[in-house]
Amino acid sequence: MRADSSYTGAVTTRKQLNRERKRDRHGSSRSANGQVARPVTTGSKARRVRPVASGSYRIAADGSIWKGRRQIRPPALKRIAPIMAFFAPVTFLLVHFTMQAKGATILSELGLTAVYTAFGLSTLVLFERSAYRRAQRQLGLSTR
């Protein structure tokens, strides 16, 4: 118990202060029962457009699909080819150093590298296509 007789039991915590700052920043003050007492409708805040939530998809004026700040583009081998150009030599080095102790020939190592690269390529194409189709489906643009 506090020795000070002016203590009323109301303690302003850091969390409450942050809530008040947020309410002031976004232009509304809440009454004791949680209802919005004063929405802001004047000044530059009234004209400000609220940013899109990061988990939602939107269509830009040019018809492109965006999720937050990232554009969802249709799948294209032109974007996947540079990734695979890096992935194939790294895969070959991994296969070469793991198969070297077993006495594998260069042809078998190249064959295994081709299989792994083909699998990686198909996986990347699948992921790109599923992300684009998910965006189309959520926007109601699905062709199926």
125's CB contacts (< 8 A; 6+ apart) are: 75, 77, 80
45 burial (CB, 10 Å; 0-12 / 13-18 / 19+) is exposed
d(CA 138, CA 54): 14
pLDDT tens digits, residue range 66-107?
A: 888 888 888 888 888 898 899 999 999 998 888 877 788 889
pLDDT tens digits, residue range 3-62?
A: 555 555 566 888 888 888 887 777 655 555 555 554 445 555 444 445 545 568 888 888
Q: Quickly list H helices, 4-105.
A: 14-26, 44-47, 77-99
